[in-house]
């Protein structure tokens, strides 16, 4: 007959898996990324690696397709603890720390993605510090390559676009800048864009090609201007409250896994964004190349916009630093 001590040991052994499960930390992450997209797949792979590395003590549950609402909704849900993390574009990030989205709103500032990568490497540590001070921890940064201009009607120059109704992510300051430049901005959440384009409330938009392909907006907006307008940046963030619940000895490993996922997303999404244009061309998208005259017109418009961006959208010292660093980087590379 087993002794009382043996019986208690058996009970303890049976209870250990339950206790371990109870100690498991679940992190719910919301995103607008479509289910099955490369973004969603990378996040799922990251979650699987987290769970393996943490021996089941940390679980990352992904909610794609905007099922948790707009990015503004998801930021609110993180703040009240209903979500713990999110994958956001600059639209969501600026609700956490306004200055972070400034790089997103620098039209024609970067000549190529190497310049953008250089500036991101320089500025990301201080941006992460500002976000951390607001109660969030950055897991990784990402971008999807260039925003391109899509429109229902053929439009190539800024003057052409002044006749269109331009989608602008819900940002009153950016709306004001567009108006001062003689454009007609329509202030909407990104979730409202498909319906607005269909009804004619919006007739033109800067957007990443991969998003336009996934949402089939090219069925309506059949014209694209091949202009390197601005990179679309984003980041995966987790509430500091949730991050601090992760055992300290696990945090460096989980952060490294997350940053690897971010690197993979960036490489894949840049490639997929260019491939998306080719796919859309096969189903009727008309791509307009930039003429020298049109480029001059866009550069002149950007020069008019920069002082307004410097005063309204970015800390002045950051804007000036970006311009100085770009000048030095171009001199080093022998480019203009």
Look at the block and give the residue holding tokens 């510090």: 129
* Distance from the Cα of residue 316 to its chain's centroid: 23
- Which pLDDT value is given to residue 169? 83
- What is the enclosing helix (H) or strand (E) of 88? strand 85-89
CA neighbor of 271 nearest in space, from 210, 205, 203: 210
Torsion 228-108-309-104 (CA) sign: positive
User: Is residue 236 a contact partner of residue 139, using CB atoms and an 8 Å limit?
Assistant: yes
The count of domains in the chain is 1
User: Is residue 237 a contact partner of residue 85, using CB atoms and an 8 Å limit?
Assistant: yes
CB atoms near residue 64 (< 10 Å): 21
User: Is residue 150 a contact partner of residue 221, using CB atoms and an 8 Å limit?
Assistant: yes
- Which pLDDT value is given to residue 55? 97
Return all residues near 333 (Cβ < 8 A) that are at least 6 apart: 114
Helices (H) and strands (E) in the chain, counts: 13, 9
User: Is residue 86 a contact partner of residue 236, using CB atoms and an 8 Å limit?
Assistant: yes
Domain CATH number, residue 111: 3.40.190.170
Contacts of 157-166 with CB under 8 Å at 24 or more apart are 157/293, 157/294, 157/297, 157/298, 158/182, 158/183, 158/297, 158/298, 158/301, 159/297, 161/204, 164/203, 164/204, 165/200, 165/201, 165/202, 165/203, 165/204, 166/202, 166/203, 166/204, 166/205, 166/206
How far apart are alpha carbons 84 and 79 in whole angstroms? 8
Domain around 46: 4-333
Torsion 186-188-194-198 (CA) sign: negative
What burial class does residue 240 get, using C-beta atoms within 10 Å of its C-beta: 0-12 exposed, 13-18 middle, 19+ buried? middle
Torsion 276-282-284-289 (CA) sign: positive
Beta strands in 172-267 (DSSP E): 184-188, 204-207, 223-239
Measured between its terminal Cα atoms, the distance across the chain in Å is 87
- Which pLDDT value is given to residue 11? 43
Return all residues near 158 (Cβ < 8 A) that are at least 6 apart: 181, 182, 183, 297, 298, 301
- Which pLDDT value is given to residue 191? 83
User: Is residue 104 a contact partner of residue 75, using CB atoms and an 8 Å limit?
Assistant: no
How far apart are alpha carbons 319 and 124 in whole angstroms? 14
Average pLDDT of each block of 10 consecutive residues along the chain (336 residues)? 47 44 84 92 98 98 96 97 96 88 86 96 94 98 95 98 93 92 93 94 96 94 97 96 98 98 95 96 98 97 95 89 96 91
Tokens (6 digits) for 93: 């990030």
Q: What is the DSSP string of 245-265?
A: HS-TTTHHHHHHHHHHHHHHH
Q: What is the pTM of this model?
A: 0.87
């Amino acid at each position: 007959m087993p002794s009382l001590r043996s019986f208690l040991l058996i009970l303890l052994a049976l209870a250990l898996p339950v206790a371990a499960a109870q100690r498991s930390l679940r992190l719910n992450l919301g995103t607008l990324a479509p289910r099955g997209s490369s973004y969603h797949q990378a996040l799922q792979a990251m979650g699987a690696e987290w769970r393996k590395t943490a021996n089941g003590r940390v679980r990352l549950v992904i909610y794609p397709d905007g099922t948790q609402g707009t990015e503004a909704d998801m930021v609110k849900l993180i703040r009240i603890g209903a979500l713990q993390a999110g994958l956001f574009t600059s639209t969501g990030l600026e609700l956490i720390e306004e200055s972070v989205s400034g790089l997103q709103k620098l039209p024609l500032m970067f000549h190529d993605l190497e310049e953008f990568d250089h500036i991101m490497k320089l500025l990301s540590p201080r941006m992460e510090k500002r976000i951390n001070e607001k109660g969030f921890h950055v897991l990784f940064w990402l971008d999807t390559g260039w925003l391109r201009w899509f429109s229902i009607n053929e439009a190539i120059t800024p003057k052409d676009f002044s006749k269109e109704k331009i989608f602008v992510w819900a940002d009153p300051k950016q709306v004001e800048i567009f108006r001062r430049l003689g454009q007609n901005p329509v202030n909407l959440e990104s979730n409202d864009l498909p319906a607005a384009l269909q009804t004619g409330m919006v007739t033109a938009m800067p957007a990443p090609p991969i998003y336009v392909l996934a949402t089939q907006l090219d069925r309506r907006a059949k014209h694209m201007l091949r202009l390197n307008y601005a990179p679309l940046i984003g980041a995966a963030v987790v509430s500091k409250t949730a991050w601090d619940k992760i055992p300290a000895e696990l945090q460096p490993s989980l952060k490294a896994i997350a940053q690897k996922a971010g690197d993979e997303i960036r490489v894949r999404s840049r490639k997929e964004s260019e491939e998306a244009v080719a796919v859309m061309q096969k189903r009727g998208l008309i791509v307009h190349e930039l003429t020298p005259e049109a480029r001059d017109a866009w550069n002149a418009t950007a020069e008019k916009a920069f002082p307004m961006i410097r005063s309204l959208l970015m800390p002045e010292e950051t804007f000036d630093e970006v311009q100085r660093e770009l000048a030095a980087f171009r001199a080093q590379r022998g480019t203009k």
